[in-house]
Structure 1
Amino acid sequence: MKKIFVNEIKPGMILAERIVSPRGQLLAEAGTPVTAQQLLHFSYYNIQELAVQDEEDAVEKYDFDAPDEFIGETQSWRITNSAEFAEFKRAYIKCADRLEKIVNDFVDKKVPIDDTELINDIHTVFEKHSTGLGIMAMMLNVQEIDTSTFKHCVDVAIISRVCGSWLGITDETELDVLTMCGLYHDIGKSLVPHSILTKQGPLTSDEFGRMAEHPLLGYNLLMDLEIDRRIKLAALQHHERNDGSGYPYGLTKDFINQYSKIIAITDVYDAMTADRCYRAGICPFEVIAQFQREDKAKYDQNVLQVFLENIAHSYLRTGVLLSDGTRGIITMINNNALSSPLVKLDDGGFVDLRKRNDLYIRACI
């Protein structure tokens, strides 16, 4: 047995010890081969070293015929091991840390909000990573298990800015407003008990009631500030739905601000794709499918369709794992069936997921 830094581990090496998360969740059993996907999850938990078996034992124990769907390099593996990603992640963490200080100083010490430097940091992210699709690919890989409210808000801000550009918003001032809508949409959670925010199981009715107060709490925090009114409304309305099924007021589409409608979508997308300590993030194609299974009256369909089309097209030529364990590459997206692309399999054959109700994309790899 020997200890090796995670960044030196190669998929297929055999673990010498079971791996558990800081909260006790089993991540991998001893005696099993490491997969590239597991290495990504270990990094989410900031696990820096792993104990692996000596090579002779590993070769003897490893079942080379075992169907290990993630052995070998994956797109996520290539992204997270690139210099560009390392730079992006540093900028992302800097934004989240800066936002945390701004919000905490504002809520606890009544220090006026000054987000000039934070917006400049986000401008830098977009200038260095100019395409929205490239930014979305890195966003999916930068997410961390137990993502804090602040990191979630940075996620939503960046995704919303990308979405805004896809919707044809070109004015930098308008994009800045939309970005700030994302940054401060969950500011009300700073007044919700931490035990509720971090609870792993289902919330009780009382706990959900406390959680559901955060839009109004956020609006009250921002109400008297001299900032664009749409930022305040995003804090208040991001859980409202066009059909009146949202909260806190059950507003319908005519009473919900357009930027709040965008944040409603990007907020849900980020929440569903992010990893948590009690579950892995959902594959983007399953998120697309879930959005499309929703009642069309729930979200602004003009925004949603543009957003989902661009998300789906960002995965062209990406490797995927199907639900039956086969692997392939996405070769064509059908705009009428975004969650069911045409996939070229590793054996050279093709499968059209629109015609295969028994198959779905389990993961992008």
Structure 2
Amino acid sequence: MVLARTVTNPDMVVVLSEDTVLQKPHITRLTFLNIPVVYIKDEQELRQAENTSPLFMRSNQFIREYGTVVKTAENIFRNVQKTGEVPVEETSTMVKGSLFPLSRRSGVIDYLNDVNHLADDVYNHSLRVSLLAGVIAKWMHFDREKTQDIILAGFLHDIGKSKFPKRLLSKNIETLKGEDYEAYIQHTVDGHHILNRMDGLSDGVKLTALQHHERMDGSGFPFGCDGADIHEYARVIAVADLYDNITTERTGYVKRTPFAAIAMVTENMFTSLDPTVCVPVLTHIKDAFLGSKVLLSNGEKGTISAYPHGFASLPIVSLSEDELINLNDHPELTIMEYNPK
């Protein structure tokens, strides 16, 4: 089923965009938000879309392949929960045979926006982070072997949550206190312990599980490492993890647009995040949004036509043939909906 109309909540926040191919997690989200009915496209509308939109077809293909690899990812995480060990060979095969090719696809940033959903299941979040890490590695011009290793690090970064109390999986980390917060921090140490026992994994993969919440200014956890003490892989995963957390609907969080994620990366690129990772991300990621449709907070619709020079986090939007607006000059306006066509 394909959505025929964009679904919004009572606050006019977009829940699912038109043309989203409905998967089981999407339906779970709709149920969670008490949305009982949606409009879907009939066969004629689907034929028209496929005949007129190559992007629609490519997006569908990506989502189908992603859906297949999700099953493998879920099995790997369930195996770790039962045995405490990572099936390294199976995981590496998935990275090389599925995740690496998916991360090289043109348009993967857009496609990931279509598969974002409630992220209480760690393996879906880990898949998206791994794919984002692969894209970032490409933008940083890493070779094939190093890129695959970073994708592996992204997939296993939260493996410590296999020992996580289920009641904490859906909690907002900002609301955790006392023992609950200590338990959350512990997932980094647990992940490192799990991976450290496994042969066939690089030090970078093992350290990423431990350090992906460390920050360049020493403000992270579990040990408050800073600067060069944080492994390069962990610095990449920190950015990918941040992007996915901001752009994903989760219990206790409101899904925000990719532009909110870009703004957060821009704000933190010389403090908590590594600028050698952030600069390539900010340089390349904006290309993914050119030509996309947006809905502004004042109700106007437009098309992203350009970005200002430098590291401005917001685009220039074309409202009509004669009217352009640079959102960086209008702090009263925000992008409410990002809906690539």
What do residues 24-71 of structure 1 show as CA deviations (whole Å, max 9, x unaligned)? xx9569xx9x9973785976125698378xxxxxxxxxxxxxxxxxxx
User: Match for residue 194 of structure 1?
Assistant: 166
1:121 to 75, 98, 114: 98
Q: Gaps spanning 5+ residues in structure 1: where?
A: 1-5, 13-18, 20-25, 53-74
Q: Write the letter of the residue equivalent to 1:228.
A: S
Partner of 1:50: helix, strand, or coil? coil
What do residues 187-241 of structure 1 show as CA deviations (whole Å, max 9, x unaligned)? 0011110101123682233211101111100000011212111100000000000
Partner of 2:289: helix, strand, or coil? coil
Between the aligned partners of 1:39 and 1:189, the Cα distance in structure 2 is: 33
Flag the 1:92–1:295 CA change in 2: closer, same or farther, 3 A.
Answer: closer
User: Match for residue 330 of structure 1?
Assistant: 304
User: Match for residue 92 of structure 1?
Assistant: 66
Offset, 1:88: 1.4
2:5 to 11, 35, 38: 11
How many pairs are equivalent?
315
Between the aligned partners of 1:321 and 1:91, the Cα distance in structure 2 is: 30
Deviates further, 34-43 or 194-203 = 34-43
1:208 to 170, 178, 181: 181
Flag the 1:79–1:196 CA change in 2: closer, same or farther, 3 A.
Answer: farther
Question: CA contact under 8 A between 1:96 and 1:151: conserved in structure 2?
Answer: yes
User: Match for residue 183 of structure 1?
Assistant: 155
Between the aligned partners of 1:10 and 1:266, the Cα distance in structure 2 is: 30
Question: CA contact under 8 A between 1:147 and 1:276: conserved in structure 2?
Answer: yes
Structure with the higher fraction of residues in helix conformation: 2
TM-score normalised by structure 2 residue count: 0.82
User: Match for residue 65 of structure 1?
Assistant: none
Q: Report matched runs for 1:230-269 at 5 Å.
A: 230-269=204-243
User: Match for residue 45 of structure 1?
Assistant: 27
Offset, 1:86: 2.5
User: Match for residue 142 of structure 1?
Assistant: 115
Between the aligned partners of 1:28 and 1:247, the Cα distance in structure 2 is: 37
Between the aligned partners of 1:149 and 1:121, the Cα distance in structure 2 is: 18
Between the aligned partners of 1:117 and 1:266, the Cα distance in structure 2 is: 22
Between the aligned partners of 1:361 and 1:35, the Cα distance in structure 2 is: 14
Q: Write the letter of the residue equivalent to 1:117.
A: T
User: Match for residue 342 of structure 1?
Assistant: 316
Larger Rg: 1
User: Match for residue 68 of structure 1?
Assistant: none
User: Match for residue 141 of structure 2?
Assistant: 168
1:281 to 255, 273, 281: 255
Flag the 1:109–1:358 CA change in 2: closer, same or farther, 3 A.
Answer: closer
Question: CA contact under 8 A between 1:285 and 1:312: conserved in structure 2?
Answer: no
Question: CA contact under 8 A between 1:330 and 1:342: conserved in structure 2?
Answer: yes
Whether 1:225 aligns to 2:198 is yes
Whether 1:151 aligns to 2:124 is yes
Q: Write the letter of the residue equivalent to 1:191.
A: K
Q: Gaps spanning 5+ residues in structure 2: where?
A: 40-48
Question: CA contact under 8 A between 1:145 and 1:274: conserved in structure 2?
Answer: yes
Question: CA contact under 8 A between 2:92 and 2:152: conserved in structure 1?
Answer: no
TM-score normalised by structure 1 residue count: 0.77
Question: CA contact under 8 A between 1:327 and 1:346: conserved in structure 2?
Answer: no
- State the superposition RMSD in angstroms: 3.2
Q: Report matched runs for 1:296-307 at 5 Å.
A: 296-307=270-281
Flag the 1:334–1:217 CA change in 2: closer, same or farther, 3 A.
Answer: same
User: Match for residue 43 of structure 2?
Assistant: none
2:288 to 293, 297, 314: 314
Between the aligned partners of 2:307 and 2:256, the Cα distance in structure 1 is: 19
Partner of 1:328: helix, strand, or coil? strand
